[in-house]
Structure 1
Amino acid sequence: MMHVLSSLPSLHHTAASLTEYWSPRVVAEFEDSYVKVAKVQGSLAWHSHEQEDEVFFILKGHLRIELEDGAVELPEGALYVVPKGVRHNPVAEQECHIMLIEKKSTLHTGSEVTEKTRSLADQLRPLAGGSR
């Protein structure tokens, strides 16, 4: 059986419907990975994922990913892969909607735990309207 990822407009709608910043929600899964959407604003936290790469796709707005040796500016429509083991801090000066693709083993803020850290159980909660 073939599973088709939700269309881009659905991802936009899902991200827009989220009520918390920095609280990613799983919208699809394949093999050993999750596809997530999040609404973000402000700064998350410096962290790394020692065993996993992390893919960011900007659905709406602008995201800056601070790295120890500089920063990457991501406008709407941009895609960027943070390699495993690279310390980074995502920052959005204004509200931004993102899609993430991560291995199922990826912890939200790596080994760093902050008030913004979300558990996998929280990220897997049903979305409003029961979609996923």
Structure 2
Amino acid sequence: MIDIPALVSACTEKWMNMAVSQVNDAVIRLGVIEGEFHWHKHDREDEFFFVVSGKLFIDLEDRTVVLLPQQGYTVPLGVLHRTRAPERTVILMVEKNTVDPKGDE
């Protein structure tokens, strides 16, 4: 069993990213974030973001996608992006187990 609320409650940092499960060749990661991550891309894998609580901005080169709780978005492979959260935000990410969470660039 994975207790997401307990993991979130235990997080005292502004930026935390941890794998919570693996399903076949995909990893489910829990993120507790506040602030912004650097611009990066993944050359071989798509990346899916799902907001549990808070608000997530996904900046792309030509626009910004805004996600509220219970909304998700897939960043296609090769697309330069960065995530940012103006407040403490809890997200789930689904990506292939070969993804470097820091990006390929």
Q: What TM-score, normalized to structure 1?
A: 0.74
Secondary structure of residue in 2 paired with 1:48: coil
Identity of aligned residues (%): 32
Corresponding residue for residue 107 of structure 1: 100
Say if 2:42 is the partner of 1:49. Answer: yes
Structure with higher strand content: 2
Shift of 1:14: 2.0
For residues 72 and 110 of structure 1, the distance between their equivalents in structure 2, rounded to whole angstroms, comes to 19
Q: CA RMSD in A?
A: 1.4
Corresponding residue for residue 20 of structure 1: 13
The structure that has the greater radius of gyration is 1
Secondary structure of residue in 1 paired with 2:70: coil
Q: What TM-score, normalized to structure 2?
A: 0.91
Shift of 1:17: 2.2
Corresponding residue for residue 72 of structure 1: 65
Q: Deviations over 1:61-92 (max 9, x none)?
A: 00000000110000011111111001101010
Note the residue ranges of structure 2 that are not aligned, 5 or more in a row.
none
Structure with higher helix content: 1
For residues 42 and 105 of structure 1, the distance between their equivalents in structure 2, rounded to whole angstroms, comes to 25
Q: Give the letter aligned to residue 43 of structure 2.
A: E
Task: After TM superposition, list the pairs within 5 Å mapping 1:111-130 onto structure 2.
Answer: 111-112=104-105
Equivalenced residue count is 105
Note the residue ranges of structure 1 that are not aligned, 5 or more in a row.
113-132
Q: Deviations over 1:97-124 (max 9, x none)?
A: 1101111110112123xxxxxxxxxxxx
